[in-house]
Amino acid sequence: MEERPETELISIPATPRASTPEILTPSGQRSPRPASKEAKSSTAWTPTSFISPRFLSPIGTPMKRVLINMKGYLEEVGHLTKLNPQDAWLPITESRNGNAHYAAFHNLNAGVGFQALVLPVAFAFLGWSWGILSLTIAYCWQLYTLWILVQLHEAVPGKRYNRYVELAQAAFGERLGLWLALFPTVYLSAGTATALILIGGETMKLFFQIVCGPLCSSNPLTTVEWYLVFTSLCIVLSQLPNLNSIAGLSLIGAITAITYSTMVWVLSVSQQRPPTISYEPLSLPSFSASVFSVMNALGIVAFAFRGHNLAMEIQATMPSTFKHPAHVPMWKGAKVAYFFIALCLFPVAIGGFWAYGNLMPSGGILNALYGFHSHDIPRGLLAMTFLLVVFNCLSSFQIYSMPVFDSFEASYTTRTNRPCSIWVRSGFRVFYGFISFFIGVALPFLSSLAGLLGGLTLPVTFAYPCFMWVLIKKPSKYSFNWYFNWILGWLGVAFSLAFSIGGVWSMVNSGLTLKFFKPPN
């Protein structure tokens, strides 16, 4: 039987877009190039298009089996993404074995935390109608921009945008993207770490007071010393090497966040409300003061939906192939996470405002629960709530600090062309932990800091993704998609400026906020 030449069996059309050169990282990680628009059409060529049923029909069974196996292999590795070898040395991309479960843990840990506890403070200035409306609009808006970020992770053939700054540079240009994205993302990570030290240290102090009671020594630790204790615990946990290695901590953070959020609002609404409670928005001496307070309150609402600066990083921990792109498990995990986030944020905001009204202290619902009902609730239940908050703050500190650790190590590996040793890595994390501690001691304004953080970092969540979609995906000019994203983006920028001004005003006039806490007799 005359054998047909092999070149007749497999003839690949010459096309410059058939594949992308591959670079294997030292860890052997590789992922495929996402399909382009042309590949989606029926006439476009793919690495397996020549292995069709029509082609296989005249071939014998053994050869058919070989070619079918080859087709499966090519579908896995036929579209290869060009990777940077340095990524295998950095904590975000060092491990790429993430999955939908890890995505849900990380998103939930990043999305629920202390910012939920101060949402009733925003309602005290906004009232029922505007408070619920602003919270609902912010939730829907940020869910849409999260979907955009997930889709843009592999939007350009042959490239994975593993970090938020990388995606911004691809959309806005190298220099402009760096200036636009680097400051708010680093500020969000560092500011969140600072706020976590504040709330974590204060909660540890309250937990100690509840558990120890009158048996405590005559010289208890000061608030600053509790900040130091909490910071030391954060530094110990930060020695875990990469983002995937803290998946267990993120699971603990997610469980504790759901649990204490539920306990806080249930305990609050189950107790008798203060007799002087009122649901009218707080009135301030002047019209300008009222406007700035409302802007700060809206900034607190915006800050409740943090975590978008970590979306690209979380997705970068997942393997990606032609058959199994990373955006599928990422979006699946994100949907589950944000369903539980809604179940946490809305009841805390609404239940907390119902229980305390405009008597809500500036520290949030946790301070109100302790101040108004510390003698009405069993000590064990109150202590458990505070302990869960501490565990959640410890877990959240790790995931929000990971982009900063990644930046430190990227600078080191770029200069030395070698991975960080364990001592260098530990030194970076100890340095960052104590810098956050000193900032927290210098700026102990929790609710005011939340409003300012929400204003300054609002474009990361609400504005930049809309601009990136237009600039990278390039929808038809003057189409609904084009108008919709441009309008959302510029609205986000305008709100960012307004909320930042409100946050600065609130920090300068923090005494106006603090005086509204009237503890019971």
- Residue 387 in any domain: the answer is yes
Q: How many CB atoms lie within 10 A of CB 256?
A: 23
- Each residue's pLDDT tens digit, 226-285: 999 999 999 999 999 889 999 999 999 999 999 999 999 999 999 888 888 888 888 777
Q: How confident is the model at residue 514, as a pLDDT? A: 35
Query: What is the token pair recorded at 474?
Result: 């390039």
- Residue 74 in any domain: the answer is no
Cα–Cα dist 123/290, whole Å: 14
Q: Which residues of the chain have pLDDT under 70?
A: 1-84, 214-218, 443-454, 507, 509-521
Contact 163, 312 (CB under 8 A): yes
Q: Give just the sign of the alpha carbon dihedral 440, 443, 448, 449.
A: negative
Residues with Cβ within 8 Å of 386's Cβ and at least 6 positions away in sequence, in order, are: 203, 204, 206, 207, 210, 366
- Each residue's pLDDT tens digit, 73-91: 544 544 445 566 778 889 9
- Report which of 115, 518, 120, 116 is spatially closest to residue 351, judged by C-alpha positions: 120
Give the residue numbers spanning the domain of 309: 97-510
Q: How many CB atoms lie within 10 A of CB 182?
A: 15
DSSP state of 35: P
How many structural domains are present in the chain?
Answer: 1
Residues with Cβ within 8 Å of 64's Cβ and at least 6 positions away in sequence, in order, are: 56
Cα–Cα dist 32/19, whole Å: 9
For residue 376, what are the CA distances in angstroms to 204, 350, 386, 518? 20, 22, 16, 17
Find the CATH number of the domain harbouring 149.
Answer: 1.20.1740.10
Q: How confident is the model at residue 452, as a pLDDT? A: 67
- Report which of 258, 346, 363, 247 is spatially closest to residue 304, judged by C-alpha positions: 346
- Residue 353 in any domain: the answer is yes
Q: How confident is the model at residue 186, as a pLDDT? A: 82
- Residue 51 in any domain: the answer is no
Query: What is the token pair recorded at 275?
Result: 């007799």
DSSP state of 183: H
- Residue 231 in any domain: the answer is yes
- Report which of 504, 456, 466, 463 is spatially closest to residue 186, judged by C-alpha positions: 456
- Report which of 499, 426, 485 is spatially closest to residue 240, judged by C-alpha positions: 426
- Residue 294 in any domain: the answer is yes
Confirm whether pTM is higher than 0.85: no
- Each residue's pLDDT tens digit, 400-439: 999 999 999 999 999 998 888 999 999 999 999 999 899 8
- Residue 92 in any domain: the answer is no
- Residue 126 in any domain: the answer is yes
